[in-house]
Amino acid sequence: MPPLALKRSTLLAMCACVLVAQSMVAAINLLIPQLAASSLHPSDTAILWTVDAYVIVFAGLLIPAGALGDRYGRKGALLTGLALFAAGAATSACATDPAVLIAGRGVSGAGAALITPATMSILVQLAGPERRAQAMASWTLAIGLGGMLGNLGGGLVGQYLTWRALFAAMVPLAALLALAVARTTPRTARSAGAGLDPLGTLLLTAGLVAVLHGIIEGPGHGWTSTLILGSFATGAVLITGFTLHSLRTGAPLFDPRVFRAPRLRATTLGMTTGFLGLFALFFVNSQYLQEVKGFQPAVTGLAILPLIVGMALVPKFAARWAARPRPVVGSGLALIGLGLLGASTADANTPYAVYACWLLVISAGTGLSMPALTLGMATALPHHQAGLGSGLGTAARETGAALGVAIAGTVLAGHPDLPSGMGPALRTVALLVLTATALVVKGYGTIRRGAPQPPRGAGNGAASHHAPAPGNAP
């Protein structure tokens, strides 16, 4: 594909698709009070699953969905994902009981799992080496804006409309996006090779779902409860089974030995770390602004908008340093950790302007680190497996998001109220982010010293085709 094949209209369509998919992760959180008082009369468990079903299915299916797009067509996978996303939203909007609402959220999550890796993979395929960093910066900005606009949209709907309106609006929006994709996006070359390894796909997806279930439900049920320990044990067994199966079969979903590459390990940990900090902030922020500062839902959605500033402005500069990811990623993740430490000092008497300054620090760190991490993940695997690489990267993001909420929620649960628990929760997450940042920087140092890459010839996995991609040298 020629380097200039990526048109502005295609870039905008891809970014809009991933923005909408990401927005539905966050939007539902600000509608919880309205859902609890609705005619569905959901239990506390049903509300939890209404929030979590989308994330669990989304994250659990990302890796096979990315491989599916690589194998059978990325544009087709994207259009199928938009159709599933709309079908799930329509189901949720018309739900007459909590079970139907939860099922609709799960179907939309499956659609999002197809949308997200397909969009990044299309951009990687169409953009030449000189444009790839800018394309990834735009895609990363769309991910961040999705979280912000999800908070804003959820707050506005929660205050002025009904929760059904949020889901109903997604149906025509998905239809418009599908039309835009059909008109602007060319089909890219499919990957040659074997099928999708059904057994490996089943083992990996079920294992990820079990682990995510344990992370998300841990704060509510207790980390030592039978249910949570059983979830983690089941996930460990299934993922171990996937690893053993993949090492033995001639055509695995992906070769686990790909994680011998320091570049992939560092970028995966960096992705997880950044979103751990960001979503811990989202979890605490909405409660702090509403319960402590007394903001209305719509104002709460607006009050987090300072996070957009750094995400919108900083990536334009970060893309210039794409060839030196170590200082860029290290500085960005460190800013996220330091911003969380600053936000942990906020209380009822803290002026919003001071709190907003800490949000700006976190947004600058996110805007600095995430494009470099996204580009690193996109180019850590060969181009014909760009969808799989995107699936791995987005699975790391969603796992980090789930961990951030779980850790912050667990620390908060150990305190009598939000004002006394917010500081310790954010400080705990901040220290984890800073510790992980040191490991990420060390990992990039290993790349600089020329650590060996995964062995060639390992079946159909990424390792069999591994080669450094343009623009990825440290």
pLDDT digits 0-9 by tens, 405-415: 888 888 887 78
- Asked if residue 209 lies in contact with residue 56, where contact means CB atoms within 8 angstroms, the answer is yes
Closest to 468 measured CA to CA, from 447, 440, 449 = 447
Q: What is the pLDDT of residue 64?
A: 84
Most confident of 12-26, 276-290, 361-375: 12-26
Average pLDDT in the chain:
80
Q: Is 164 buried (19+), middle (13-18) or exposed (0-12) by CB count in 10 A?
A: middle
Q: For residues 105 and 117, what is the distance between their CA atoms, to the nearest angstrom? A: 19
What's the sign of the alpha-carbon dihedral 237, 243, 244, 245? Answer: positive
Q: For residues 52 and 46, what is the distance between their CA atoms, to the nearest angstrom? A: 10
pLDDT category of residue 127 using cuts at 50, 70 and 90: confident
Q: What is the pLDDT of residue 1?
A: 39
Q: For residues 424 and 347, what is the distance between their CA atoms, to the nearest angstrom? A: 12
**Residue 344 CB neighbour total at 10 angstroms:** 19
Closest to 122 measured CA to CA, from 254, 264, 10 = 10
Q: For residues 418 and 100, what is the distance between their CA atoms, to the nearest angstrom? A: 32
- Asked if residue 278 lies in contact with residue 362, where contact means CB atoms within 8 angstroms, the answer is yes
> 4 forms bridges with which residues in the sheet?
127
Angle at 185 between CA 23 and CA 172, to 5 degrees: 45
| Both structure tokens of 183 | 């008109």
> Residues 174-198: what's their mean pLDDT?
81
| Both structure tokens of 201 | 């796909």
Q: For residues 469 and 10, what is the distance between their CA atoms, to the nearest angstrom? A: 23
Q: Which residues contact 151 (CB under 8 A, 6 or more apart)?
A: 26, 27, 29, 30, 282, 286, 300, 301, 304
Closest to 53 measured CA to CA, from 123, 3, 113, 139 = 113
Q: Which residues contact 243 (CB under 8 A, 6 or more apart)?
A: 256
Q: For residues 276 and 169, what is the distance between their CA atoms, to the nearest angstrom? A: 29
Q: What is the pLDDT of residue 3?
A: 45
pLDDT category of residue 4 using cuts at 50, 70 and 90: very low
Cα of first residue to Cα of last residue in the chain, in angstroms, is: 26
Q: Radius of gyration over alpha carbons of the chain, in Å? A: 21
pLDDT at 219 exceeding the cut of 80: no
pLDDT at 154 exceeding the cut of 90: no
The stretches of 325-385 forming alpha helices (DSSP H) are 325-343, 352-380
pLDDT at 171 exceeding the cut of 70: yes
Q: What is the pLDDT of residue 460?
A: 40
| Choice between 175 and 385, residue whose per-residue pLDDT is larger | 175
pLDDT at 206 exceeding the cut of 80: yes
Q: What single-letter DSSP state applies at residue 344? A: T
State whether residue 4 is helix, strand or coil: strand
Q: What is the pLDDT of residue 386?
A: 61
Q: What is the pLDDT of residue 336?
A: 94
Residue type present at position 231:
S
Most confident of 41-45, 309-313, 421-425, 430-434: 430-434
Dihedral angle, C-alpha 432, 433, 439, 445, nearest 10 °: -170
Residue type present at position 5:
A
pLDDT at 88 exceeding the cut of 90: yes
Q: For residues 398 and 401, what is the distance between their CA atoms, to the nearest angstrom? A: 5
pLDDT at 129 exceeding the cut of 80: no
Q: For residues 205 and 344, what is the distance between their CA atoms, to the nearest angstrom? A: 36
pLDDT at 389 exceeding the cut of 80: no
> 127 forms bridges with which residues in the sheet?
4
| Both structure tokens of 245 | 């199966």
pLDDT at 144 exceeding the cut of 80: no
Q: What is the pLDDT of residue 457?
A: 38
> Residues 375-401: what's their mean pLDDT?
72
pLDDT at 309 exceeding the cut of 80: no
Query: How many secondary structure helices (H) and strands (E) does the chain include?
Result: 16, 0
Q: Which residues contact 111 (CB under 8 A, 6 or more apart)?
A: 21, 80, 81, 82, 83, 84, 85, 86, 87, 88
Q: For residues 341 and 328, what is the distance between their CA atoms, to the nearest angstrom? A: 20
Q: Is 28 buried (19+), middle (13-18) or exposed (0-12) by CB count in 10 A?
A: buried
> Residues 358-375: what's their mean pLDDT?
85
pLDDT category of residue 383 using cuts at 50, 70 and 90: low
Quote the pTM value. Answer: 0.75
